[in-house]
Structure 1
C-alpha cells in the first residue's frame, strides 16, 4: 500500500534563507501547487492525505472543498506553520472540522518536529505521522525510533518511510535529488519489506524554485522543482500503478 501525503501550508521556507516573501505569495504558491497535485491524483484515480494548517485552509477554501469532494483525506498540520503551542493540537483539529465538515483523525507536526504523544491523543487524534526515523543533520536524529507503524500513548504512529538497514530517507528531498529510477527501486524495496510506503511532499515543490534571488534556496532544494516535479510525480504514480500497487489515505490504511 502506498500512502502519499502532502503538507499544505503557508510557503514560509524562503524566510529561513533570508528572503522576504509576502503572505499573499506564500498562499498563492501553495494553492497553485496543490491544484497541480490534485490534477495528477485525479488523472491516476488515486487517493491521498493532505495535512493542512488552519491558516492555509482559511485562505484557500476552494482547495479544501476540492480535496474533500475528490475523496481525499484532510488531516491537521497545526494552526500555523511557523509557530506551535500545545493548545494548537485541539484548536487546529476543531477548526479544520468546522471548515471541512469532516472528522479530522490525523496530525503531522510542521517540519516533522517532535510532539508530546499524550497531548496528541488528548486532542482527539487517532494517529500521528510526525516521525522521520532517520538522521537529518540540523533537523533531527530519530535512529532510535521504529521504522514501521506502532502504537504509542494510545494512538498510531506512522513514521515516514526509510529504507531497510541503512534507513535512507525516502521523503521529498530524496525524490528531487536521486535519479528517479534509483528512487523508485528504493521505494519498491521498502514497500515489499514493510508492506506499505509512507512518503510526503509539499505543494510549493511544484513551483519552479530555481530563482535564487527570489527564494534563496541551495541547489539540493530547488532541483527538479516545478514542471520537472509534476513530470516526476506523474511518472512515479504511473510506474507503481502499472505494477498493480494500491494507493490509500492514511486513515483508510489503518482501518484495514
Structure 2
C-alpha cells in the first residue's frame, strides 16, 4: 500500500521578517488562521487526514482551529513554542501546552524551518517521532545529502525525513510544488512513492493566501502559485493522488503500523 503523509506547519506568519519587512503579530496570526481554515476545508472536501505541526503561540491564538483539527480526525503535533525562537526547554513545554489546549496526546515534533535539533532532547521530552530532516543539499539552508533519505531510527526515536526523490534527492517540499510544472511534480512524487512506499510532504497555511503583495517583499520563487492558484493546484494534485490509488494517513497512524 502506497501512503501519502500530508503535513502542515501552522505557525505565526513571520516569514516577511526574513525579507526585511515588518508584519504586526495580529496579522501574522490572521494570515495563518485564514490559510489553516482553507486547508481544513480542502481536506474535508476530499475526506483525507493530515498532520498539523503547530507552535504553541499559534495554537493559543487559534483554539477553534485546533479543536477543528481534532474533531475532523487529523493529528496535532509540535512545531515548538515560538516559530523564530528556540531553547531546548521548549521541547517539553510545547508538548505539554499543546496537549493542554487540544486535550489529546502529542507524539510528534518538527523543528521550525527544519533546522537541526538534538535527538536525545526530543526523546527525553516525550516524543516518539521527529520529522525535522530535509535530506537534501540546498546551499545556505540544508546540508543533509548524506543523511538517511527515508524512515530510520535513532535509539528509540523514529525519524521521518521529508520526501526527496531517489538518487539525486530533489526536494519535494513546498517550494518545488509552487515552481515546478505540476505534471513534473506529479511524476517526481510517483517515482518517490513507488520506491519508498510512502510520501512525506509538508506545506504551510500562508501558501494558501496571496503572497504576491508588495508589503511582503517576497521573491518570485516564494510567491509563485500562491493564494487561489495554490488552492486549485492543491485540489488537482490531491485528486490525482487519489486516482492513483494512494491512501492518506496521519504520521502517527502510519508509524504505528511500521512499529
Do Structure 1 and Structure 2 share a fold, with TM-score over 0.5? Answer: yes
Gaps of 5+ in 1: none
Q: Given the alignment of the two structures, is residue 159 of structure 1 paired with residue 161 of structure 2, yes or no? A: yes
Moved more, 137-146 or 220-229: 137-146
Gaps of 5+ in 2: none
Q: Please state whether the residue corresponding to 1:50 is helix, strand or coil.
A: strand
Q: Residue 249 of structure 2 aligns with which residue?
A: 248
CA distance in 2, matches of 1:229, 1:153: 39
Q: Residue 31 of structure 1 aligns with which residue?
A: 33
Q: Structure 2-normalised TM-score?
A: 0.98
Q: Residue 17 of structure 1 aligns with which residue?
A: 19
State the Cα distance separating 1:12 from its structure 2 match.
0.1
Q: Please state whether the residue corresponding to 2:126 is helix, strand or coil.
A: coil
State the Cα distance separating 1:225 from its structure 2 match.
0.2
Superposed CA offset, 1:158-178 (max 9, x none): 000000000000000000000
Q: Residue 217 of structure 2 aligns with which residue?
A: 216
CA distance in 2, matches of 1:23, 1:68: 25
Q: Residue 94 of structure 1 aligns with which residue?
A: 96
State the Cα distance separating 1:143 from its structure 2 match.
0.7
Q: Given the alignment of the two structures, is residue 230 of structure 1 paired with residue 231 of structure 2, yes or no? A: yes
Superposed CA offset, 1:27-84 (max 9, x none): 0000000011001100000000000000000000111011000010000000000000
| Equivalent residue runs for 1:83-162 within 5 Å | 83-162=85-164
State the Cα distance separating 1:153 from its structure 2 match.
3.0
CA distance in 2, matches of 1:115, 1:98: 24
Superposed CA offset, 1:74-111 (max 9, x none): 00000000000000000000000000000000000000
State the Cα distance separating 1:228 from its structure 2 match.
0.5
CA distance in 2, matches of 1:153, 1:113: 20
CA distance in 1, matches of 2:183, 2:11: 29
CA distance in 2, matches of 1:210, 1:216: 8
State the Cα distance separating 1:154 from its structure 2 match.
1.4
| Equivalent residue runs for 1:51-90 within 5 Å | 51-90=53-92
RMSD: 0.5
Q: In the comparison of the two structures, how many residue pairs are matched? A: 255
| Equivalent residue runs for 1:162-177 within 5 Å | 162-177=164-179
Superposed CA offset, 1:159-218 (max 9, x none): 00000000000000000000011001100110000000000000000011112x210100
Q: Given the alignment of the two structures, is residue 181 of structure 1 paired with residue 193 of structure 2, yes or no? A: no
Give runs of ≥4 in structure 1 deviating > 3 Å: none
Q: Structure 1-normalised TM-score?
A: 0.99
CA distance in 1, matches of 2:37, 2:62: 11
